Amino acid sequence: MNQGLPEWLWPIAELAGSIRGEDLSSFLPPENHDGREGAVLILFGEGEHTEGGKLSADLLLIERAHDMRSHAGQPAFPGGAIEAGETAEEAALREAHEETGLDPAGVVTFGRLPDLWLPPSNFAVTPVLGWWRDPSPVWAADPREVASVERVSIAELVDPANRVTVVHPSGYRSPGFLVRGLTVWGFTAGLINRLISLAGWEEPWDATRLVDVEVGSVQ
């Protein structure tokens, strides 16, 4: 049933079969949208970080190149456009390989979340859930698109000291995370925020702690 997933990941696997788009975001694809379709890989792993002598769970994130036309410099899940004939899973794994050097053979995809909408880039995005069964080295494999690659532990993400509310110049506010010298916000932070909450991992944090973001568009 749980495809050999570690027990700590079972709550996430169970979400894939029951969660609704509105449980994750207020940005949902409009009916009969004529925009592009994309996929991102939400990849859970363990093994690089030790805390208290135990292996810790982590998420794979990239920092987008700082000279890109959209979402420049923003942390994100690996991903991109779905090409003709591809499934969302195939696209997410291909993009992750191109961006980070990840070996797709070591990844077990175990579900999808509902499609979400990125209005600025006109993308309907399918989040694909993955378990990094056999981790491989990762790096900024395509410097044109990726500035850095990070495996960020769940412990860092749920730590109240690393949690903020991000304020965009437009006035838009959303959950954010300050990890590895990066400000994770927008679409990526919103998904992480909802997943750790729905999985029961969230710790109380101060939502009145505000951090401004200086550039970019609301994801």
Q: What is the pTM of this model?
A: 0.92
pLDDT in tens, 41-65: 999 998 654 555 555 899 999 999 8
Res. 195 pLDDT band, cuts 50 70 90: very high
Q: What is the average pLDDT across 151-161? A: 95
Say how many domains are in the chain. Answer: 1
Q: What percentage of the chain exceeds 90 in pLDDT? A: 74
Tokens, residue 145: 């698109």
Q: Is residue 29 part of a domain?
A: yes
CA distance 48 to 112: 25
- 13-48 burial, b at 16+ Cβ within 10 Å, e below that, comes to bebeeebeeeebbebbbeeeeeeebbbbbbbbbbee
DSSP string, 57-79: EEEEEEEE-TT-SSSTT-EE-SE
- For residue 106, the domain's CATH number is 3.90.79.10
Q: Is residue 61 part of a domain?
A: yes
Task: Note the pLDDT of residue 80.
Answer: 94
Distances (CA, A) of 158 to 12, 18, 173, 198, 200: 15, 23, 19, 13, 11
Q: Is residue 193 part of a domain?
A: no
